[in-house]
Amino acid sequence: MEQTRDGTQRTWWLPRAVVRLLDAAEHTETQWVQAARTRQAGAAATEPPSYPRQARDAGGRQTTSPEDPTASLRPYNAELEGQLYSVLSRKPGTSRRVAGWACAVCRTAPATVLDHCHEHGYVRAPLCQSCNTLERPDHLYSNDIRVANRYTRLFHTDTGDWLRHWHRCPGCRARTTLPLPHPAAWTAHIACRSLRPTHRAPRGRKPCGVLRVSWTGSHQAPRSCLLTVAVDFCPSGDHRVLARVPYREAAERFRIWLAETAPAVAAAAGPDRLDGLPAQLRPVIVDTSGEGLALF
∠ CA(73), CA(75), CA(79), 5° rounding? 120
State pLDDT tens for residues 253-281: 999 999 999 999 998 887 655 555 554 44
State pLDDT tens for residues 195-207: 888 888 788 888 8
State pLDDT tens for residues 97-144: 999 999 999 999 999 999 999 888 899 999 999 999 888 777 777 788
In whole angstroms, what is the distance from residue 39 CA to residue 93 CA?
38
In whole angstroms, what is the distance from residue 294 CA to residue 296 CA?
7
Q: Which H helix or E strand runs over 244?
A: strand 240-246
When mean pLDDT is compared over 36-45, 63-72, 119-128, the highest value belongs to: 119-128
Are 140 and 132 in contact, with CB atoms under 8 Å apart?
Answer: no
Instruction: Provide DSSP, 47-116.
Output: SPP--PPEEE-TTS-EEE-TTSGGGGPBPP-STTTT-BHHHHTTSTTHHHHHHTBBPTTTSSSBP-EEEE
- pTM of whole model > 0.75? no
Residue whose C-alpha is closest to residue 176's, from 111, 233, 248, 127: 248
Instruction: Provide DSSP, 265-285.
Output: HHHT-SGGG-TTS-SSPPPP-
